[in-house]
Amino acid sequence: MPAVPETSTLTDGFHLVVEALKLNDLDTIYGVVGIPVTDLARLAQASGIRYIGLRHESAAGHAAAITGYLTQKPGICLTVSAPGFLNGMVALANATTNGFPMIQISGSSNRATVDLQQGEYEELDQMNAAKPFAKAAYRIERPEDIGIGVARAIRAAVSGRPGGVYLDLPGAILGAALDAEAGAKSLVRVVDAAPRQLPAPEAITRALDLLATAKRPLIILGKGAAYAQADDDIRTFVERTRIPFLPMSMAKGLLPDNHSQSVAAARHIALAKADVVMLIGARLNWLLGHGASPQWSATARFIQLDVLPTEIDSNRAIAAPVVGDIASAIAQLLSALKPGQIRPSPEWVDELGAQKAKNAKHMEANLAAPHANPLGFYSALGAIKKVLADKPDVYLVNEGANTLDITRNVIDMHAPRRRLDCGTWGVMGVGLGFAIAAAVTSGKPVVAIEGDSAFGFSGMEIETVCRYSLPVVIIVFNNGGIYRGDDVNLGGGSDPAPTALMKDAHYEKLIEAFGGDGYYAADPQSLRNALGEALASGRPSLINCAIDPKLGTESGHIGNLNPHSEVHAPVH
């Protein structure tokens, strides 16, 4: 680094990082401070960037990731070196898998001693450790490169398919002095970080021609469609073509769940019998059975709208790939669509409608099941559904096994990007980080419905919720176990079974310790009352909802992925 004249006004790496973020309108940082990044958080806060300090780096990373999903700008997670960096990597990998734009900025130890493995404090080659789990990873080794390094991280995070980016900042670079004028000139404001990627005209024609041949067409909306924020055009295309649609979990609300064309309540028959399927921001991964029979018709043909060319033909042959950003692709499809060009057969619409009505009646019966004490999953969710029915702007965060699966089916969404869950990777522990970020980003109420096991991954973040006075209501579905609470120790010893948690735990007492409001609910009326009161107060709240410990299915809806031993006795 060139010598700095003694008469110069100086800046340093800390200030340059803050100014680079501000220059690019990144106004919130989630993190956990310590060596060597504490002053970075202090200076960011002093400069007008909002710093939200969480209790664990994984939760901070999840908060940053979902901020990226909600805003289309990279969420920022700040961590310390080595152990803190590794804690944040779970969230970074999850963001990359899910297509959430985020940047994890971590302080790191002295490069010279790390590279020679001389036993530096928290010694770890963090950049190379991050590479397999991130869309991109960069290390800045000169303070004058901070501006360009931040710019590269922003562009990598949001362009093409969004993802997680790692930015490594050795402590020596943060503290290094630099001429202030030279430092200011080194900063970069990113122009058009996520440029439009227009699909080829022939791809648009091919897709519409294929849809025109369909008798039993189906549109599947994925979270990529929700991320695109092309809400009006997507709704117009769906309604103009009259094609039935199926929303994936985080695409719920892109069109209201009670929309006449929604076939979420007839998912099985829709997938099994569709002859042409249009995937909009959805992937044929495990969540859609990899596109394979018997879940899908072996003769179904696929149209896929995706920004990533390598996603095409990943599991099934795609007859009509439309490669480009979702907003541009939908706009071009609408522009090229001719009146009456696409006509789903009335028999198909009627068949799906009959199945929807049948399943809806079955769901109503479940929700109206005898209101035993303790509650069941359906009776509890039926009570919550009634409270949320006239509150479409409430953000719903959801995680667990049975709690996730059943909530997804019961609670209707009426606005886009209001349902936030684990998505593609199935990571536990996203709940409170997501809830904190949704409240910080939107300023609106958040309800986090958590299984008791899932809550345990990030439960200490209730202190964060209270410290920042966020309008977050946490509902813990407490059945005393992972999946359920009645498992037994097969060895006959006094230790609890592997899936058992503490029976009769009073989670509501935890939030009271930090000044929030705790509620206990064991019947539908008390649950409705508690949720209504908590939402009206706007205060941090936790409702401990007692669920029958005998209820719950092993691994929820994906029990087929969980192999079981045929040997049920100890082996000696």
pLDDT digits (tens, 9 = 90+) for 411-468: 999 999 999 999 998 889 999 999 999 999 999 999 999 999 999 999 999 999 999 9
* Residues of each domain in the chain carrying CATH 3.40.50.1220: 201-354
Task: State the pLDDT confidence band at 567, using cuts at 50, 70 and 90.
Answer: low
Choose the CATH number for 10-186 among 3.30.70.380, 2.40.50.100, 3.40.50.970, 3.40.50.300. Answer: 3.40.50.970
Confidence category of residue 572, pLDDT binned at 50, 70, 90: very low
| Topology, domain 201-354 | Rossmann fold (3.40.50)
Q: What is the pLDDT of residue 118?
A: 84
State the amino acid at position 189 in one-letter form.
R
Dist CA 495 CA 381 (whole Å):
32
Residue pointed to by tokens 């964060």: 464
How many residues belong to the chain?
572
pLDDT, residue 200, reads 98
pLDDT for 382: 95
105: left (phi over 0), alpha (psi -120 to 50) or beta: beta
Lowest-confidence pick of 84-88, 138-142, 404-408, 501-505: 501-505
Residue ranges, comma separated, of all CATH 3.40.50.970 domains in the chain are 10-186, 368-552
CA-closest candidate to residue 507, choices 547, 554, 555, 467:
547
Residue type, 186: S
pLDDT tens digits, one per residue of 154-178: 999 999 999 999 999 999 999 999 9
The answer, yes or no, to whether residue 372 has pLDDT greater than 70, is no
Residue 120 confidence (pLDDT): 87
* CATH 3.40.50.970 is right for the domain spanning 368-552: yes
Mean predicted confidence (pLDDT) in 26-49: 98
Q: How confident is the model at residue 5, as a pLDDT? A: 59
Task: Measure Cα distances from 26 to 54, 442, 522 in Å.
Answer: 18, 15, 43
Q: What CA dihedral angle connects 286, 292, 297 and 300, to 10 degrees? A: 90
Look at 3-7, 240-244, 269-273, 563-567 and tell me which has the smallest mean pLDDT.
3-7
For 501-520, what is the mean pLDDT? 96
Tell me the CA end-to-end span of the chain in Å, nearest whole number.
Answer: 66
pLDDT of residue 308: 96
Average pLDDT over residues 37-47: 98
pLDDT at 376: 93
- For residue 111, is pLDDT > 90? no
pLDDT in tens, 317-355: 999 999 999 999 999 999 999 999 999 999 999 999 999
pLDDT in tens, 217-240: 999 999 999 999 999 999 999 999
CA gyration radius, the chain: 25
